[in-house]
Structure 1
């Protein structure tokens, strides 16, 4: 479970750490105009790594209904105005659901994260929270506030640590691709509407976050999606069954279907904690219910698996894949079952 950070003093401290982490990874400073529907921010001092940019400023004059710290992210270009891909602005104090960004602490580890409601703007029909979360397969986590009420949010990035901004960069890319998909009409298909209904039904149920994660300088939890991307690339680099296609949804990290039948199911866990493995085994057995379904659990390569859990995986005929995560990429490590080549297919710049 996560706890919302509400103290004005702590939010200010966390915001400073966030900006410091981004400046460490986005090393170049440049003065640019930032355009958005309805206006322009002139001569903004933005930080960039040459591909992405970040800008932050206070927005707290007396006539502002929702005073907030601005955290703007986008794709960088050398000429012309910059444009915002996503605003992850944060309230100065307390809980304010009208402000899409917020900070929360992982109660298990003490790590603090920037989260986003998933509300994606842009003035285009079809650009919205539920559509974005459905399309992108983002999994919001539960965050409890001081009153005991819950707020859901997508993990964007840890506020500090090695390559802290790596997951934020991925989040920007996902939003950019989503907006392109909206303009291409991908939200109007029957398949998308079916998937959106599944998403809405699933997240209407009260549920807690899966507990436990690896303790390390590199934050595994916020980069779960990056591992799933690498897994997708690894699987599609080999032949799929005839008529097979890769699928993802709110219930599974990844699968392969033939027609309506799920013939392969994969579950990624960012630690080998017993609670994580219990959850993964349950998910694989529930969703990979067919007797001949291939069930695969994907775990960090250096972590030890308890002997009784190893035995359970063998007994239940659940395959084990390992992944490696460093500052720049996720890598799936495994010998293929259908050939002798070692797979180290990578996802990263």
Structure 2
């Protein structure tokens, strides 16, 4: 379960850890102008790794309707003013849904994460929260506040730990690519409109969210998207059925389709907890409807899988793959297993 951090001093500590992580990973400091619809912030002291940038400052002057700490992210440009890809601003205390960013704690591990409502702007018609989430397959996580109310958010990154900025970079890239897709008209196709509608129907009907857990001292939950990318690369390197293509949507992490028929379905879980394995089994069985469909679950190598769960995979003819993440390089590797 994820719990909203509302206490002023705890929010301040989380923000400091966030900024410290970016100062460590984005080692270059420089002064740039930051443009956005309606204005420009001049001479901002930003941190960059040469490809991405991060800037933070207070925004709590007298008369400000929603005092907040600004956390701006984008793609770095050496020769031009910078443009914001996403703002993940956070309130100083309590809950304020008008501020898109917030911090949440995993009650099982104590890990603290920067979350984002998914609300994006930019002044372009078609740039919206639901369109972004449908386009990117970003899962929403339920976070409980002090009163027991739920706030949904995308998990952007842990505020501290190994390679924390990697998750944020992925999110920045996702939003930048989405905005480019909007400009290119990619969201106006019948295929995307169908996917958008499917997304809205799915989240209206099913309130449950996928919730991963951290394994050991290294954060896995924020790396789900990287594991899926590594899985896609692994599958492409092997023989594919004739006229097939890789697919993914809000219902499945990845699949292989021939025409409209799903012939392989993969589900990634970031822990081997009973709940997660149950979920993986259910998802590949529900969506791998063809009797000949290949059903595969992908689980972390470092975690033990209960014997009865392994027997269930065998009984149901579900294959098992494992992944591991190098804690020094943050690279993801997919490992083939012997038959369960």
TM-score for both structures, normalised by structure 2: 0.95
Tell me the alpha carbon deviations over residues 130-164 of structure 1, each in whole angstroms, 9 at most, x when there is no partner: 00000000001011111211111000000111111
Q: Tell me what 1:153 maps to.
A: 153
Residue 214 of structure 1, CA deviation: 3.7
In structure 1, the partner of 2:220 is 220
State the 1:210 CA deviation.
3.8
Greater shift in the superposed pair: 159-168 or 318-327: 318-327
- The aligned runs of 1:86-97 (5 Å cut-off) are 86-97=86-97
Contact 1:163 / 1:218 at 8 angstroms: preserved in 2? no
1:333 alignment partner in structure 2: 335
**Aligned in 2, Cα 1:133/1:314: closer, same or farther, shift over 3 Å?**
same
Matching of residue 258 in structure 1 with residue 258 in structure 2: yes
C-alpha RMSD over aligned residues: 1.6
Counterpart in 1 of 2:188? 188
The 2-side partners of 1:210 and 1:86 are apart by 24
Deviations 1:184-215 (A, max 9, x none): 11100111111111110111135334455243
What CA distance in whole angstroms lies between the structure 2 residues aligned with 1:30 and 1:336?
51
Alignment of 1:18-97 (within 5 A): 18-97=18-97
Alignment partners' CA distance in 1, 2:36 and 2:108: 39
**Bigger Cα displacement from structure 2, 310-319 vs 240-249:** 240-249
Instruction: Give SS of 1:231's match.
Output: helix
Deviations 1:202-242 (A, max 9, x none): 11135334455243232100110111111112212334322
Q: Secondary structure at the match of 1:204?
A: helix
Correspondence for 1:3: 3
CA distance in 1, matches of 2:35, 2:211: 41
Structure 1 CA distance, aligned partners of 2:330 and 2:279?
A: 28
Distance 1:127 1:212 in 2: 28
CA contact (8 A) 2:76 2:82 kept: yes
Q: How far did 1:46 drift?
A: 0.6
Mapping of residues 233-252 of structure 1, within 5 Å: 233-252=233-252
Aligned length: 337
Structure 1 match to 2:131: 131
Change over 3 Å in CA distance of 1:212–1:166 after alignment to 2 = closer
Which residue number corresponds to residue 347 of structure 1?
A: none
Structure-2 separation of matches of 1:88 and 1:211: 21
Cα pair 2:321 2:337 within 8 Å, conserved: no
Give 5+ residue unaligned stretches, structure 1.
338-349
Q: Distance in 1 between matches of 2:182 and 2:240?
A: 28
- SS of the aligned residue for 2:120 comes to coil
The 5-angstrom pairing of residues 257-276 of structure 1 reads: 257-276=257-276
Given that 2:32 and 2:42 are in contact with CA atoms closer than 8 Å, whether structure 1 keeps it comes out as yes
Partner of 1:108: 108
**Alpha-carbon spacing, 1:318–1:335, altered in 2? closer, same or farther (3 Å):** closer
**1:316 match:** 316
User: Which residue of the partner structure matches residue 297 of structure 1?
Assistant: 297
Question: What CA distance in whole angstroms lies between the structure 2 residues aligned with 1:168 and 1:211?
Answer: 18
In structure 2, the CA distance between the partners of 1:215 and 1:328, relative to structure 1 (3 Å rule), is closer
Distance 2:183 2:212 in 1: 39
Q: Does 1:280 align with 2:280?
A: yes
For structure 2, list consecutive stretches of 5 or more residues without a partner in the other structure.
Answer: none
- Write the deviation string for residues 269-324 of structure 1: whole angstroms up to 9, x where unpaired: 11111221111111111111221110001111222212221111111111111111
CA contact (8 A) 1:211 1:275 kept: no
